[in-house]
Chains A and B, each alone.
Chain A
Amino acid sequence: MNILHMLFEILIFPGFAFVLFTALFFHWLDRKLIARFQGRIGPPWYQPVADLIKLFSKEDILPVGTNEVFATLLPLVSFAFVMTASFYLPFAVPTTQSFEGDIIVVIFLLSMPSLLYFLAGWITSGVYSILGGNRSLLQYFSYEVLFLLAISGTVITSGSWSLAGIRSAQLTSGSYFLPQLLGFFLTVSGLIGKLKRDPYDIPKAKSEMVAGPLTEFSGKKLGLWQLTNQLQTVVGLSFLVHTYFGGYWQMGTVGGFFTFYLLLILLQCLLSAISAIYARFRIDQLIRLNWYALIPLALIHNLFLVLK
């Protein structure tokens, strides 16, 4: 009975199936919202499912000279990384035991797909793929630092390196969203870089270099890469809900679950609006913006929090 219950938790409800469903739903929401922001109608609700089924049923081609084992493993492994991260960020349903330092684990798990993304560009020996891989690595060194610095604001205030600690600190002192608005926006900026969404979509810039590292991938592998990205969106957003909105919901309650979901949807609206408003940065602009403006800002913000 206990094992069945555990299997149900891992495979269906707060686990695998539910997170996948949420990822697909948020992908649709994203596309629909951007379409509506641009005055279009947008895709119907079943679109991500149809895309996924179609991609999984297509022929799988790889260029000559590509290491096939690597090309198959990379999307699988990055999918596994993100999926694992999703177990640490439960949807207001207690599953895994939170331990001291799990926030570091989650940040690590969330940043691995970007590295694998770079490798994906490197092994498929196309010009666009290699260029895209290089760019994604360059970008990696700016937004990742920013993300870590900005998120450590919550760690400093709560005095705990675990997600459960940050949540419980917010339950007593109120959410960090309003008092640390600056930190929140810096984190969102780092997250957009992680997800390679619109102003930071330099590695896969469609109008410049086809599709970046994913240019040579087709069929199942492409489907898996896209699923990874969609999953990463949901996981990154729920990370924000855990760290900045912890005071608005409670673990293990029905109301908490719905508030959690609502917060996720609102954050997705924010991301879509940012994508709809801003055009892509150039790579040098992005690095200059991050290292000259946003990272010093995050440092000052953290210093301020420490002194307070």
Chain B
Amino acid sequence: MEKNKAILPNILTWARKKSPWILHFNSGGCNGCDIELLSLLTPSYDIERFGILNEASPRHADILVCTGPVTEQVRPRLKRIYDQIPEPKWVLAVGSCSCSGGVFSGAYNILGGIDKLLPVDMYVPGCPCRPETIIDGIIKLVESIQ
């Protein structure tokens, strides 16, 4: 019985680590990071070898990969998309402007960072970040799953 208890969570963790499906959302950035993120799907980076799929519906996703400084317009929608992702879920902030506001910081219409609205699990700096850094970020995030 004890052993069963230990094995099942282990299998679950293994499965979660091996198939993190991502949902990509731009909360008002300049689109630089989005292009870098989409280059992960191209043959030269191919994130499918880590089991990552780019899903279009928030209900299918595990990791919300969010770029941009969260403008006031997009703020309720971002919150809603986050709520629609089924548990367990994680948030990855991609790009300097999604970490802190970056080059937009001080503008009147932004919140300045995703962590003001959602709990962020991993920050990826760079403006735009290199695809390698994004892969690093996702792998680090996935390894921290318990």
- B43 interface contact, C-beta 8 A: yes
- B132 interface contact, C-beta 8 A: no
Which chain B residue lies CB-closest to A124?
B59
Which A35-94 residues have a C-beta within 8 angstroms of B?
35, 38-44, 46-47, 49-54, 57-61
- B18 interface contact, C-beta 8 A: yes
- B11 interface contact, C-beta 8 A: yes
Q: Is the CB of B86 within 8 A of A60?
A: yes
Complex Cα gap A166–B88 (Å): 50
Q: Mark B112-138, 1 if CB is under 8 A from A, else 0.
A: 000000000000000000000000000
Q: Mark B18-61, 1 if CB is under 8 A from A, else 0.
A: 11000000000000000000000001001011010001110110
Our pick among B12, B18, B46, B59 for the contact of A41 (Cβ within 8 Å) is B46
- A201 interface contact, C-beta 8 A: no
Chain A residue numbers with a CB within 8 Å of B15 are 49-54, 57
Q: Is the CB of B43 within 8 A of A40?
A: yes
Q: Is the CB of A217 within 8 A of B51?
A: no
Pick the interface stretch among A178-186, A208-216, A279-287: A208-216
Our pick among A44, A46, A60, A218 for the contact of B60 (Cβ within 8 Å) is A218
Q: Is the CB of A61 within 8 A of B86?
A: yes
Our pick among B12, B49, B59, B62 for the contact of A215 (Cβ within 8 Å) is B59
- A219 interface contact, C-beta 8 A: yes
Complex Cα gap A219–B87 (Å): 9
Residues of chain A at interface, number, CB under 8 A: 33
Chain B residue numbers with a CB within 8 Å of A301 are none
Q: Is the CB of A50 within 8 A of B51?
A: yes
Our pick among A46, A61, A219 for the contact of B18 (Cβ within 8 Å) is A46
Q: Given known contacts A38-B43, A57-B12, A210-B56, is B48 in contact with A50 (CB within 8 Å)?
A: no
- A273 interface contact, C-beta 8 A: no
- B16 interface contact, C-beta 8 A: yes
Our pick among B19, B60, B87 for the contact of A59 (Cβ within 8 Å) is B87
Q: Is the CB of B86 within 8 A of A59?
A: yes
Q: Mark A108-127, 1 if CB is under 8 A from B, else 0.
A: 00000000000000000000
Which chain B residue lies CB-closest to A52?
B15
Q: Is the CB of B84 within 8 A of A61?
A: yes
Complex Cα gap A57–B51 (Å): 17
Complex Cα gap A50–B84 (Å): 22
Complex Cα gap A39–B88 (Å): 33
CB distance from A222 to the nearest CB of B (A): 6
Complex Cα gap A207–B86 (Å): 22
Q: Is the CB of B59 within 8 A of A222?
A: yes
CB distance from B104 to the nearest CB of A (A): 28
Complex Cα gap A214–B56 (Å): 11
Our pick among B16, B51, B59 for the contact of A44 (Cβ within 8 Å) is B51
Q: Is the CB of A39 within 8 A of B57?
A: no
Which chain B residue lies CB-closest to A222?
B60
Q: Is the CB of A42 within 8 A of B48?
A: yes
Complex Cα gap A57–B17 (Å): 13
Q: Which of B11, B59, B60 lies at the interface centre, i.e. has the most chain A CB atoms within 10 A of its CB?
A: B59
Chain B residue numbers with a CB within 8 Å of A222 are 59-60
Complex Cα gap A211–B56 (Å): 7
Which A201-256 residues have a C-beta within 8 angstroms of B?
206-207, 210-211, 214-219, 222
Given contact pairs A41-B48, A51-B15, A218-B59, a sample of 8 additional A-B residue pairs in the complex whose CB atoms are under 8 Å apart = A43-B48, A44-B49, A50-B18, A53-B14, A54-B19, A57-B15, A211-B56, A211-B57
Q: What is A's interface to B at a CB cutoff of 8 Å?
A: 31, 35, 38-44, 46-47, 49-54, 57-61, 206-207, 210-211, 214-219, 222
Q: Can you list 14 pairs linking A and B with CB atoms under 8 Å apart?
A: A38-B43, A40-B48, A41-B49, A42-B48, A44-B51, A47-B51, A54-B15, A54-B62, A206-B56, A210-B56, A211-B56, A215-B57, A215-B59, A218-B59
Q: What is B's interface to A at a CB cutoff of 8 Å?
A: 11-12, 14-16, 18-19, 43, 46, 48-49, 51, 55-57, 59-60, 62, 84, 86-88
